[in-house]
Amino acid sequence: MVAMNKDICEMTPIIGPECRERFLPFLDGGPLVGAGLCLAGLSRLRRQYRIARPNPNFHLILGSLDGQARLITPAEQRELRAGDLLIAPAGGAYAYELIRGRSWSIVWCHVSAAAGRDWLRDVPQLTVRRSPDLPKLAAEVEDLLAEAARNLHLATEARRAKELYLLVLLERFVRFDRHPTEPHEHDDLDRLFAAASADLAQPWTLGQLAERAGYSPTHLNRLCRAHFGRSAMRHLTFLRMEHAGRLLRRERLKIRTVAWRCGYGDEFAFSVAFKRHFGVSPRQMKSQ
């Protein structure tokens, strides 16, 4: 163990010319900065890449999206594969590097140890666990990166809402995955909300969702709170609002059409829910 610690200290960081890293621009004074995030982004790594941290002063949350890499710690060496979530608290030695001939895509963030939230202090040692929902986090980061690249930043309130959602996802990966649902329950929830997402115009009720999933309404809510951090109907509202936001940003549709597609027969009720979610009205987002 001492020898491996020494090895980590002596490793030279390598970021080859074929590696592409994109860094997420934070909103000044926004939720991510307030939570202590100091760096975050998406990386596509090829051929040459190695990072060694003998004594980092920040917590690392890293999601492996595809490809493979090697994780080196004082206790072991192991592979990181697609779907693996690495949580490395500050102060612990570790390194990771590309396996020869492989590529690796990751979504990651650094959280200041001085400003780290309580949910990160709950992880006392380096942990690797399976987390199949990492593409959801990557998609949200990709969306913000694309807006920044095209200089199409949302209004401050909307950006704040999107950052808050990213923070909710991070908390869920760190906190809620400590008490995960059973694998079959995880699959049941994915199938249920995939079906709901494919037909958001349907006026779903909690009873209908529960019946489709094969659970009682009480048990469905318990699973959703453990898996998503919110009740089944709140998660459905979240899916509706995210879909509405995409429609207003990317398609030339009337607001009442978007409301109908997202399960709202009343345009006013839709606008109230939309502003509660994004911090701006549908008309303001549409104008941007």
Instruction: Decide if 83 contacts 129 (C-beta within 8 A).
Output: no
Phi then psi for residue 47, to 5 deg, are 65, -70
228-241 pLDDT, tens digit per residue, is 767 899 999 988 98
For position 122, what pLDDT does the model report?
62
pLDDT at 141 over 80: yes
For 111-134, how does the pLDDT look when each residue is reduced to its tens digit (9 = 90+)? 998 865 566 766 678 989 888 778
Alpha carbon 161 to chain centroid, angstroms: 14
- Is pLDDT of 208 > 70? yes
pLDDT range class, residue 1, cuts 50, 70, 90: very low
Q: 181-287: which CATH architecture?
A: Orthogonal Bundle (1.10)
Is the predicted pLDDT of residue 156 greater than 60, yes or no? yes
What DSSP designation does 279 have?
S
Residues 6+ apart with CB under 8 A from 88: 53, 56, 59, 60, 62, 94, 126, 127
Query: CA dist 151 to 23, 109, 211, Å?
Result: 15, 22, 45
pTM over 0.75: no
How high is the mean pLDDT of the chain?
Answer: 85
More confident position, 2 or 158? 158
Domain range annotation of the chain: 2-132, 181-287
Q: What is the DSSP annotation of 11-25?
A: PPPEE-TT-EEEEPP
Looking at residue 183, its pLDDT comes to 55
Q: What is the pLDDT of residue 18?
A: 93
pLDDT tens digits for range 6-52: 578 878 899 999 999 999 999 888 889 888 999 999 999 999 999 99
Phi, psi of 196 (to 5 degrees): -65, -40
pLDDT tens string 40-91: 999 999 999 999 999 999 999 999 999 999 999 998 899 999 889 999 999 9
Return the closest-CA partner of residue 160 out of 271, 277, 41.
Answer: 277
Report pLDDT for 69. Answer: 96
- Angle, vertex CA 101, rays to CA 95 and CA 102, nearest 5: 60
Please give the CATH topology (third level) of the domain spanning 2-132: Jelly Rolls (2.60.120)
| Mean pLDDT (whole number) for 169-180 | 66
